[in-house]
A and B are shown apart, each in its own frame.
Chain A
Amino acid sequence: DAMVIQNPRYQVTQFGKPVTLSCSQTLNHNVMYWYQQKSSQAPKLLFHYYDKDFNNEADTPDNFQSRRPNTSFCFLDIRSPGLGDAAMYLCATSGRQGMNTEAFFGQGTRLTVV
């Protein structure tokens, strides 16, 4: 089945040690997103790509970076994780730029910072 796959499901990293989260999709969607979700909170949009065009949210910390080497893959890099970066990170895709499309989410990566 076509889907959005995130690896790993659980990631433990040390305070200040760079970490990369991965997302792949078989939907051939143009748009890919990264969201951060803390317990009982709304998923918070960090950034999104339309094809290779990168769109950063104004309040996304510089500590968070992203790469999209091709249509299928997108990576979230956290350069120096702090305790406050512990969260569920959700990758999502949607079909085309414009409206009337839903978002397809992966299962998420639960990041723990020790």
Chain B
Amino acid sequence: SQKIEQNSEALNIQEGKTATLTCNYTNYSPAYLQWYRQDPGRGPVFLLLIRENEKEKRKERLKVTFDTTLKQSLFHITASQPADSATYLCALQRNFNKFYFGSGTKLNVKP
């Protein structure tokens, strides 16, 4: 079965720096890979989607890369702000509308 791995250790960075989060998966490559933000006690909120034939996607301060050879996606937040502090989840989508999530990485941005 598909295994999705995200760094369970929190990432602590200084405001203004670039945060880079990693999502690795095993087995088959998903058709789509998505990134979500989750705040404590809340449901995840969609951020970005990237297709298997795309290398990179950008949206404002966010950038996602997708390497199907390495079976890895990287999620970057540039010029990070304390308000970016949250848990970031990656989700893989292959069959129909099924989404399978990683456990997320907690990001702490210090002022």
Contacts and interface: CB of A to CB of B under 8 A. Distances in A.
Contacts of A22: none
Contacts, number: 66
B43 A92 contact: yes
Interface in A11-35: 31, 33, 35
A107 B38 CA distance: 10
A98 B102 CA distance: 21
Interface in A58-114: 88, 90, 92, 94, 96-108, 110
A45 B100 contact: yes
Interface of A: 4, 31, 33, 35, 40-45, 48, 50, 55, 88, 90, 92, 94, 96-108, 110
Given A42-B102, A43-B89, A101 B41 contact: no
B45 to A, nearest CB: 7
Interface residues of B, number: 26
Contacts of B46: 102-104
A41 B43 contact: no
B43 A101 contact: no
Nearest to B106: A40
Interface in B8-54: 8, 31-32, 34, 36, 41-46, 49, 51
B109 interface: no
Contacts of A55: 98
Contact of A90 (B43, B96, B104): B43
A99 B89 contact: no
Contacts of A100: 32, 49, 51
Given A102-B34, A108-B41, A48 B103 contact: no
Nearest to A43: B101
